[in-house]
Amino acid sequence: MKHQSVVTNPRKLGPIGFVRELRRARRTGPSPETVFRLLRPFHGPELDAIYGRCMNDPTARRILEEGKSLHPVLLDFDRLRALPEGSLGHEYARFMDDNDIDIVSFAEASWKNMVREDYANDAAWALANRLRDIHEIVHVISGYGTDVLGEMCELVFNIREDPRPKAAWLAVKTNIVKFRRMGAPQAEAVIREAHARGQQAGLMVGTDWEALLDWPLDDVRQKLHISPPPSYTPIPGPGDPPLPRPTPRDLLSALLLRTPTA
């Protein structure tokens, strides 16, 4: 019997559409709109596995069946900044302020490319939105920044809950090739460590973050079995030029590169 996916409309982009959107992204730069157009279909079969894990976890199941949305909670920056220094909520607000991140534009861009009708039930729709909204929380809880290396570490840290893991691994491996070319092979060890840390962590999308915002950040990490964040040198660092665009040779090398998990 064929498995019934919770994604009723995967919004397939196709190879021609992918090339078209990639060219558009290169012209317009990395904006929320270009990111979500490029990542269609935003959710596919991998979402079913994440959904299954959530349905088997009492807390995650309750959150999704209640349709709890993190978006308005994370927009209340006055409340978050007023929480005790060192708490998850306070550190989240600090992270957003320091990096000038606009989650409103990001959410609005996603809603242009994913709608409730694309999902079989309200819980699956809640999951799709929550996967988007936890991105910066995972940055805070894992300790990785918004530099390119930090973003790659965040990707592999939370790869088990990535609805597009193949695309995520390709991005990681492409940047590893660029790190090697620019003389920074040590970045690979940082990425491998991030993956190992994430494999020990609890279910990020199924965590009741709303209830943990006033907890000390270290206590939240302990609850979720997350080791203290490692020290790493950001790439690019402050004041450094951006990394070069990948060449066709970089992409070919990335396709041949083994997934750096060991």
Q: What is the DSSP code string of 67-100?
A: T--SHHHHH-HHHHHHSPTTBHHHHHHHHHHHHT
2 assigned to some structural domain: no
Q: Which two tokens stand for residue 111?
A: 């809603």
Q: Is residue 5 part of a domain?
A: no
pLDDT of residue 261: 80
> Domain range for residue 58?
42-256
Q: What's the pLDDT at 60?
A: 97
pLDDT higher than threshold 50 for residue 126: yes
| pLDDT at 171 exceeding the cut of 80 | yes
Residues 6+ positions from 83 with CB-CB distance below 8 Å: 89, 90, 93, 213, 214
Q: Would residue 11 count as lying in a domain?
A: no
CB neighbour class for 185 (10 Å; exposed up to 12, middle 13-18, buried from 19): exposed
Residue with tokens 């000038």: 100
Residue 81 lies in a domain: yes
- What's the mean pLDDT when you consider all of the chain? 86
The number of folded domains in the chain is 1
In this prediction, residue 5 has a pLDDT band, given cuts at 50, 70 and 90, of: confident
More confident call, 144 vs 2 = 144
User: Mean pLDDT throughout 147-175?
Assistant: 91
Lowest-pLDDT range of 13-22, 215-224, 252-261: 13-22
Going by C-alpha positions, the residue among 184, 193, 121 that lies closest to residue 157 is 193
pLDDT, residue 55, reads: 96
Given pLDDT bands bounded at 50, 70 and 90, which one contains residue 247? confident
Cβ distance 257 to 170 under 8 Å?
Answer: no
Axis crossing angle, helix 165-181 with helix 148-157, rounded to the nearest 10: 140
**Of 2 and 103, the one with more pLDDT:** 103
Q: Cα–Cα distance between 44 and 131 in angstroms, integer?
A: 13
Does 130 reside within a domain?
Answer: yes
Percent of the chain with pLDDT over 70: 84
Residue 228 identity: P
> Is the pLDDT assigned to residue 22 strictly greater than 70?
no
Q: Is residue 6 part of a domain?
A: no
What's the mean pLDDT in 130-144?
93
pTM over 0.85: yes
Residue spans of alpha helices (H) in the chain: 14-28, 32-38, 45-55, 58-66, 71-75, 77-82, 88-99, 103-111, 122-133, 135-142, 148-157, 165-181, 187-200, 209-212, 217-223, 248-256
Residue 212 within any structural domain of the chain: yes
Comparing CA positions, the residue from 231, 208, 235, 234 lying closest to residue 220 is 208
Instruction: Confirm whether 21 is domain-assigned.
Output: no
Q: Residue 172 and residue 150: Cα distance in Å, rounded?
A: 11
